Amino acid sequence: MRPGPLFPLEVNVSSNGAVPSCPHCGEPLLPFALPEAGGWDSPFQLACWNDECPYYVRGWTWMESEYGVRSSYRYRLDPGTGAASPLPVWSPTAIRDQIIEADVEVAREGDLVTTPGTGGGYEDHP
Ligand SMILES: [Zn+2]
């Protein structure tokens, strides 16, 4: 169990008033907690958790053909810098338990803030 509320989470990516979404599949990005020793500026990052995302689906094929490993990566966005990078995953459920259950809200300035959810699930995933 993670202690304490670490909210609100502020996202500094310019967003035109919308929650950042994955450029590959259009699904809204969800925040997830970073490993302790990650050395990142932000306490969390955003990633696409859609298992049908073309970026993620293509990653399995590519990694297996290039390296012979069962691995893939998800689209990740650093909320501090707005820089995108691949998030390596070794299974469909990898890092999923790090997803922060929070509602991402768009602040008036165009910044994003997430507030604690009320246990909102991810039932829209098939
Ligand atoms: Zn996606």
Give pLDDT tens digits for 45-85. 899 999 999 999 999 999 999 999 999 999 999 887 888 99
47 alpha carbon to ligand 1 midpoint, in Å?
8
Q: Could you tell me where the DSSP H helices lie in the chain?
A: 54-67
pLDDT for 43 beyond 80: no
115 alpha carbon to ligand 1 midpoint, in Å?
22
Exposure class string for 62-89: b at 16+ Cβ within 10 A, else e: ebeeeeeeebbbbbbbbbbeeebeebeb
Q: How far apart are CA 43 and CA 62, in angstroms?
A: 30
* Res. 11 pLDDT band, cuts 50 70 90: low
| Residue 22, pLDDT score | 95
* Res. 4 pLDDT band, cuts 50 70 90: very low
The residue behind tokens 């990142």 is: 40
45 alpha carbon to ligand 1 midpoint, in Å?
15
pTM exceeds cut of 0.75: no
Spatial CA neighbour of 46 closest among 72, 28, 59, 71: 28
